[in-house]
Every structure is written in structure tokens, then in C-alpha cells.
Amino acid sequence: MWTELSLSSDLAPPSKFDLAESARLIREGSKSFHAASLILPSEVRQAARALYAFCRVADDRIDEGRDPHAALSSLRRRLASAYSRRPEDSPVDRMFAWVVSEYAIPRAIPEALLEGFAWDADGRVYQSFDDLKAYAVRVAGTVGVMMALVMGERRPDALARAIDLGIGMQLTNIARDVGEDAAAGRCYLPEDWLQEAGVSRADLFSVSGPDRQIRSLVQRTLQEAEGFYVSGFAGIDYLRPDCRTAIRAAGLIYKDIGRVIEANAFDSITRRAAVSAGRKLFLASRAAWPQQAGAHHSEAEPSAQFLLQAVASRPLPELPGASSPAGWAWVMDLFLQMERRRDAGSVME
């Protein structure tokens, strides 16, 4: 029951209609998340669906609109309304407003997500890997933070590891989509990497087949992602036991895209890496067993410090009997949805 999770909100819990509409959006928009959400505890399922629905609508508005900047302005107004406890008259906005209040999700977190979308709309060029990480923090690290908060986890170290896992997943996206992005006139690879490899943006945009220098850049991107996966997986032990398997499965499946890219000799120009259904099942079963943690980042990514500070500035009241929500089963699917925007000329599948 939603009323069992009334930790901090002064908004009325979502109505049956709002809950049903959120479920419909997920059922029609994502079979994989809908199936996964059915096995989550009811309160977790509803909270995750509420966040997913808002993020999905945000991506669709930017994807389908002719003017992404106008869409962003509209989304910022909706975000402001939700945080002022006067959400727009739609099930998605009402549920989102309730969840961000209920779980004390700082406004700076979804605002940073929209900022990342704005960078895409502006066609921002990333001069260094540090610049690219700042982008990944916004479009991926924010997702990790929001879901960690929904799981009831607010410790800085745990949030830092969730951000790391998001960065690793975003770098995997970038490595896989080099060719598709180039065909659309976009490049996420850092400019200094391109210069070191002797590749210009014009070269990248005109390439039509496998290229040795570009393969090396794809490989370098995946090598950087590896460290963030190790760090992200190490943070799973911060979470309550009944949600660790879901997070580990999402990370393992997404990380496995990198294995497929490597098997393709790092050719992301003429081939698009995909993990087979059978392989996903294998990795999901493997996720039930704890993994040996390797060396990982001990500190939070510097460009993500503002997210941690935002959470620290808005602590969750500790009320007797409050339950701790869990569940991250939808994260991988959200990243897949984000890719569609990139394919459509903005930045979600």
C-alpha cells in the first residue's frame, strides 16, 4: 500500500486511475520492464513506475518534437510544478510529484538529467574525457541516484557507486553507437582522444567502413567503462539483499554489450552489438550469485559531487515503522529507451 510509505509527503497518494495509467504506459512502452516490475513489492513497483513514466515522457517529448529546446522548456515547467506540489493535470505528473516528495528526491537531480538532454540538443562537443564524464553523470548518474533514493539508500558511498554504474553503462552506449552517431552528425568521443588518434570529426562523420583508429577509440571507451563497472558492482553490497540480484543482472547484461563489441573487433561502424536473449537469461541467473569485488574508485566522480551534496542537503526524515523500498529492475530498459532519442536526431530502444 502506498499509505505504508508515507515518509515525508504532504500530497495525497496517487489515485487508482493514476496507478493504472502508469501501469499502462509501462506495459505498452516496455515489455521487459513491465514483466520485471511484476515481481517487485507493490510499493516499489509503483514508485519505480512513476519515475520511469516521467523519464519516458520526457524523452518522448524531446524525441518526437520538432523543437527540442521548446520541449525542454516545457519539461522544466512541469518539473517546477511537481516540486511546488502543484503538478500538471496528468497521471504522470501527479505520480512523479508524489514520489519526489515521498522519497525526498532533491530537485537538482532531475534538473541535472534535463541539463544533459539540453547538452544533446545543443550538440555539445566534449573536449576531454572529464567533460564526457560530466555528461554521463547527468544523463546516467542521475538515474542511479534517483533509484537508489527510491530504494531507501542515501549514504554518499552507495550513491557514488550507483553513479559509477550509470557512467559505465553510458560509456557502453557511446562505444556501441559511434557509427550511428557519426551518421547523424554527432560525436561523443572526446576531442583530445580524436587528436591523439589522428582522427578529425570530419573523418569520423564520413567514415563508411571499419577503421583502425576508430576501432582503437571504441576499445579505449570500453576500457574506461570497465573501471566504472567494477566500482558500480562493488557498491551493490550497500543495498538490501532482496534487490541486489536485479541490479547486478542489469549491470551484467549491459556490460556484456562490450563483450559483443570486442568480439566484433571493436567495429561499431558497420555492426551494432546486441546481447542475445539466451545470453541475457544466462547472465540473469549468474546475477543471483555474489561476485568477487575488485579494486574500485574509492571517491565519488568529481563531476558528480553536486548530486551527492544535493542529497545530503535534503535528508529523509526517519519515522518509526517506515519501510525501505527496493528495486532497480527498470534501469537497463531506461537506458535502452534513451538510445532511441539519439537515433532520432536528439539523443532512447
Any idea what the CATH number is for the domain that residue 162 is in?
1.10.600.10
Q: Is residue 330 part of a domain?
A: yes
Q: By residue range, what is the domain housing residue 112?
A: 106-313+324-343
Q: Which phi and psi angles does 156 have, rounded to 5°? A: -55, -45
Q: Is residue 100 part of a domain?
A: no
Q: Which of 29-38, 130-139, 194-203 has the lowest mean pLDDT?
A: 29-38
- Using CA atoms, how far apart are residues 88 and 349, in angstroms rounded to an integer? 28
- Using CA atoms, how far apart are residues 156 and 239, in angstroms rounded to an integer? 13
Q: Tell me, what's the pLDDT at 292?
A: 67
- Among residues 152, 202, 162, the alpha carbon closest in space to that of 182 is found at 202
Residue written as grid cell 532511441: 340
Q: Is residue 151 part of a domain?
A: yes
C-alpha torsion 66→53→288→233, nearest 10: 60
Q: Tell me, what's the pLDDT at 49?
A: 79
Q: Is residue 11 part of a domain?
A: no
Q: Is residue 318 part of a domain?
A: no
Q: Tell me, what's the pLDDT at 55?
A: 80
Q: Is residue 42 part of a domain?
A: no
Q: Is residue 168 part of a domain?
A: yes
Q: Which of 103-117, 250-264, 273-287 has the lowest mean pLDDT?
A: 273-287
Q: Is residue 226 part of a domain?
A: yes
Q: Which phi and psi angles does 69 have, rounded to 5°? A: -70, -40
Q: Tell me, what's the pLDDT at 2?
A: 35
What is the average pLDDT value for the chain, to the nearest integer?
A: 82
Is the whole model's pTM more than 0.75, yes or no?
Answer: yes
* Those residues with Cβ within 8 angstroms of residue 325's Cβ, 6 or more apart along the chain or in another chain: 5, 41, 43, 44, 47, 103, 150, 151, 152
Q: Tell me, what's the pLDDT at 44?
A: 66
Q: Which of 39-43, 75-79, 114-118, 179-183 has the lowest mean pLDDT?
A: 39-43
Number of domains in the chain: 1
pLDDT at 6 over 70: no
Give the residue with greater pLDDT, 94 vs 47: 94
pLDDT in tens, 49-93: 788 788 878 877 876 767 889 999 999 999 999 999 999 988 889
